[in-house]
Structure 1
Amino acid sequence: MLFGEIDPPQRLLMGPGPVNAHPRVLRAMSADLLGQFDPEMTGYMEQVMALYRPVFGTDNRWTFLIDGTARAAIEASLVSLVEPGDTVLVIDFGRFGLLLKEILQRIGAPIVSVEAPWGQVMPMEAIAAAIERHGPRVVASVHGDTSTTMAQPLAGLGDLCRRAGAYSYVDATATLGGMAIDTDAWGVDIVTGGLQKCLGGPSGSAPITVSDRAAERIFARRHVEQGIRRADIADGRGPRIASNYFDLAMVMDYWSEKRLNHHTEATTMLYGARECARVALGEGLPARFERHARAGASVTAAARAMGLRVFGDDAHRMTNVTAIHIPEGVDGEAVRRRMREDFEIEIGTAFGPLAGKVWRIGAMGYNAMKHKVALTIGALEAVLRAEGYATPPGAGVDAALAAWNG
């Protein structure tokens, strides 16, 4: 069977991710491939490590990439950090807190949780009480959960964990490069991200940073497991390590001066990840965070000017994704279809308790721009009127522009 050349429509991706990749990132990804141990290639790997340290807000030596989507880095972190029998406390305030639990269940970890209703976050006092009550060995949280559009405050989490002898993990997939990630100031041990949201790249490479404290535990566990593995194999029971590909000790050896072979590096993705960080740092992180904050404020102001209700707690809203209640009597999927077919703009649906109840509009990375927000809001106004919802013509766009301009 013969298929034609790929020629996707030029859609404006204004959902919760992925978003349109920055042209500089796409150009970088078209560069020639190199062998993974070519000195030029290992030099690029060192550059990537250096570039992502400020993006993560850290001096961690172990700052690198996991070859795979953001979920690959989540799983690698949990598989490598959590030892058999370790109790893990999950801070659960949305779909991706549930994902942490699912991964932990698969590796057999005892799980306890503190849970906030969707649209809210957990107070640090409640987290502290749960740590004292359960004595977990690991505490895991999402930073920004796109399912609820809430951002969990994390200042002080690392100190709480260290005082309790626990390690901390944070999934910052949806916020890295768009909201401040203060790994060292928070004192957390492992933070992971993705390219396809605020960093303005494609999915397929996942930045990660690991504290020396966590790295020591991971490497020590590797040595213990190697001893167990030899004994298990002798007894015919087989190895106990949960994963080969996601074994961070092996991946870190690959990214170290040892260059121990683990897998064939995803060269093209590394080029893209490198350029994502160069773009972010070239803009300046404070300016970039301000741009995302303006974009989110513009979407929120526009929705309210159109008579729509915004979901969730304003005090803890992510800057880059906004959930908007679907008005009664409006077919939410019909609106999304018209947005796509008439305007080539994609906005997001929802799942779980919010399925069919909200749209999610994302303005992040290369799409967190005034004109792209205005185009999206203008299209939404037109579609809503076509679907029978009365909204003042131009009110949303006017409010979006006023909010952006401050």
Structure 2
Amino acid sequence: MTSRVIGPIDPPPRLLMGPGPINADPRVLRAMSAQLVGQYDPWMTATMNETMALYRDVFRTANEQTFLVDGTSRAGIEAALVSLLEPGDRVLVPVFGRFGHLLTEIAERCRAEVHTIEVPWGEVFEPQQVEDAVRRVQPKVLAVVQGDTSTTMCQPLADLGEICRRHDVLLYCDATASLGGNAFEADAWGLDVVTAGLQKCLGGPSGSAPITISDRAAAVIDGRKHVEAGIRADDETDAPGERIASNYLDLAQVMDYWGPRRLNHHTEATTMLYGARECARLLVEEGLDAAVERHALHGLAMLEGVRGLGLGVFGDVAHKMHNVVAVEIPDGMDGDAARATLLADFGIEIGTSFGPLHGKVWRIGTMGYNARTDAVLTTLAALEQVLRTTGGVAAAQEVYAS
């Protein structure tokens, strides 16, 4: 037993300007303070329907199967892959950063036959590179990340759907880091399954994963449903393969849960539903194009701001996401110490990076609620002070230190 008194939650004030999570929009937090309602209450089921309709607008799709997976963005990724893939299925993953490696790992856990193609971090794939690999591998699924925050790159998707249709391949996209802040067209680009999260451009907390599923992908997922119910097909040659590895993340069951029959699957994460609904409502109210333009404006201001401080920028800027920039750490500077100073003295958090970029770049985000002028200027002013080794701020810091 603890001998000390534990008080209520009282987090310190922080301006979260890393690659995510970001500060949740206060309107989202207010929505999440609403009281719970039973999950089969008519008001609740109507709210679920409203949420599905809002996310159809966010994804820019007419897909009936558009809803929430209760869990963080990774739960959405796993739900998509574990429900699409059977052991032995071929999967092609174009890897241009850390999160391509994540898709590879999850597909391998599904016991799929995983093939990868790679470009150096800081670059993206040309459509021909992807099509050449599709021809060679002949996958069931092409699994791609749109925006990878580890490199800040944004993979163009407009040509990939047409490539996949031509070769009868399902196209899955992880849009966690990009949706809401970069152009996105699920239907126009021919995407079959897309998953996202709230904690970046959507301006909410982590814990709910919006998903949209095309009719042809839904048919693949639904085709495994009767195995889950323990019912075999009469003709063994028509029987589907192994059962879906996860019960909780089985999209065949989750589709029935959100569908008209409302078949019981799990207890709804009601507070997260409220938050996810408000994230989408605010985005639709602002207008998708306006939100993308807002992220583009503040992302450009941050980009030019760090350049104005004499800092280099990593990667192919022409293919950078609007909402995050990778800033090269000056030679001789302890990047982690600088981040710690920003946090301790100014209450501002920026990100480090992974793999080959660890210790070489900071990742600074301008996304969601924090894609605004005061957040950008405050961060740049604080970073400028941290970069200085002498001057008034340094002298004042010595006073505090003593």
Deviation at 1:83, TM superposition (A): 2.0
Deviation at 1:337, TM superposition (A): 0.7
Deviation at 1:80, TM superposition (A): 0.3
Which residue of structure 2 aligns with residue 181 of structure 1?
184
Which residue of structure 2 aligns with residue 100 of structure 1?
103
SS in 2 for 1:386: coil
Partner residue of 1:159 out of 157, 162, 177: 162
Partner residue of 1:343 out of 341, 346, 360: 346
Which residue of structure 2 aligns with residue 234 of structure 1?
none
Deviation at 1:282, TM superposition (A): 1.0
What are the within-5 Å matches in structure 2 for residues 102-117 of structure 1? Answer: 102-117=105-120
Q: Give distance in 2, aligned partners of 1:77 and 1:161.
A: 17
SS in 2 for 1:359: strand
CA contact (8 A) 1:229 1:240 kept: no
- Superposed CA deviations along residues 158-196 of structure 1, whole A, max 9, x for unmatched, are 121122111110000001111121000110100000000
Q: Give distance in 2, aligned partners of 1:182 and 1:240.
A: 32
Deviation at 1:7, TM superposition (A): 0.6
Q: Give distance in 1, aligned partners of 2:140 and 2:180.
A: 29
Query: Within the alignment, does 1:286 sit opposite 2:301 as a pair?
Result: no
Deviation at 1:386, TM superposition (A): 3.1
Q: Give distance in 2, aligned partners of 1:35 and 1:225.
A: 27
Structure 2 residues without counterparts, runs of 5 or longer: 235-241, 392-402
Deviation at 1:71, TM superposition (A): 0.2
Query: Paired residues, what number?
Result: 381
Partner residue of 1:332 out of 305, 330, 335: 335
Deviation at 1:240, TM superposition (A): 3.9
Q: Give distance in 2, aligned partners of 1:48 and 1:359.
A: 35
Structure 1 residues without counterparts, runs of 5 or longer: 232-238, 389-406
Deviation at 1:307, TM superposition (A): 1.1
Query: Within the alignment, does 1:80 sit opposite 2:74 as a pair?
Result: no
What are the within-5 Å matches in structure 2 for residues 366-405 of structure 1? Answer: 366-386=369-389
Distance 1:104 1:228, change over 3 A: farther
Deviation at 1:373, TM superposition (A): 0.2
Runs of 4 or more above 3 Å deviation:
224-231
Query: Within the alignment, does 1:145 sit opposite 2:148 as a pair?
Result: yes
Q: Percent identity at matched positions?
A: 63
CA contact (8 A) 2:21 2:199 kept: yes
Q: Give distance in 1, aligned partners of 2:87 and 2:81.
A: 11
Which residue of structure 1 aligns with residue 245 of structure 2?
242
What are the within-5 Å matches in structure 2 for residues 191-230 of structure 1? Answer: 191-224=194-227, 226=229
SS in 1 for 2:374: helix
Query: Within the alignment, does 1:251 sit opposite 2:254 as a pair?
Result: yes
Deviation at 1:224, TM superposition (A): 4.8
Q: Give distance in 2, aligned partners of 1:158 and 1:178.
A: 21
CA contact (8 A) 1:330 1:387 kept: no
Deviation at 1:213, TM superposition (A): 0.7
Query: Within the alignment, does 1:39 sit opposite 2:42 as a pair?
Result: yes
Query: Within the alignment, does 1:65 sit opposite 2:42 as a pair?
Result: no
Q: Give distance in 2, aligned partners of 1:8 and 1:109.
A: 43
- Superposed CA deviations along residues 112-145 of structure 1, whole A, max 9, x for unmatched, are 1111110000111100110011111100000000
Which residue of structure 1 aligns with residue 310 of structure 2?
307
Moved more, 68-77 or 107-116: 107-116
Which residue of structure 1 aligns with residue 365 of structure 2?
362
Over aligned residue pairs, what C-alpha RMSD do you find?
1.5
Give, as a single letter, the amino acid of the residue that structure 2 aligns with 1:100.
L
Give, as a single letter, the amino acid of the residue that structure 2 aligns with 1:171.
D
CA contact (8 A) 1:228 1:240 kept: no
TM-score under structure 2 length normalisation: 0.92
Distance 1:93 1:229, change over 3 A: farther
Query: Within the alignment, does 1:261 sit opposite 2:264 as a pair?
Result: yes
SS in 1 for 2:222: helix
TM-score under structure 1 length normalisation: 0.92
